[in-house]
Amino acid sequence: MKQLAIIAACLAIGTASLGAADVGANWEKHCGSCHGKDGKGQTKAGKLANVKDFTDPKYQESFTDEQAIRQIKDGMKDKAGKEKMKPFGDKLTEEETKALVAFIRGLKK
């Protein structure tokens, strides 16, 4: 019964995201230049911005999915108010944003 519920949820997510861009394409287009293809943040831009390593389980535990969604939508600023990450709320649908969070969760070692 539990497996049937999981399959149904996956099908619902897949159907809801048919109009959404592929998560890999969105990661590459919007995230990869700073976070890297592997999520470790070891790109030139990532190092300059002090991007955290998404493969680190401890870092992954430090934020909720809701916080990640908010940061993707609204962007991030440092303590001085300088933009650290651009907002993507106007570029990504709700489904695409949630798919990126699931993708990030999948990078954990």
Q: What is the mean pLDDT of the chain?
A: 87
The per-residue pLDDT for 20 is: 62
Instruction: Answer yes or no: is pLDDT of 3 > 70.
Output: no
Q: How confident is the model at residue 5 (pLDDT cuts 50, 70, 90)?
A: very low
Pairing verdict, β 83-85 and 76-77: antiparallel
What whole-number distance in Å separates Cα of residue 65 and Cα of residue 50? 21
Instruction: Answer yes or no: is pLDDT of 28 > 90.
Output: yes
- Chosen CATH of 22-106 out of 2.40.50.430, 1.10.760.10, 3.20.20.60, 3.40.50.2300: 1.10.760.10
What whole-number distance in Å separates Cα of residue 98 and Cα of residue 77? 21
Using an 8 Å Cβ cutoff, are 56 and 42 in contact? Answer: no
Q: Which residue in this structure is represented by tokens 């609204």?
A: 74
Instruction: Answer yes or no: is pLDDT of 42 > 50.
Output: yes
Chain segment 71-96, per-residue pLDDT in tens: 999 999 999 999 999 999 999 999 99
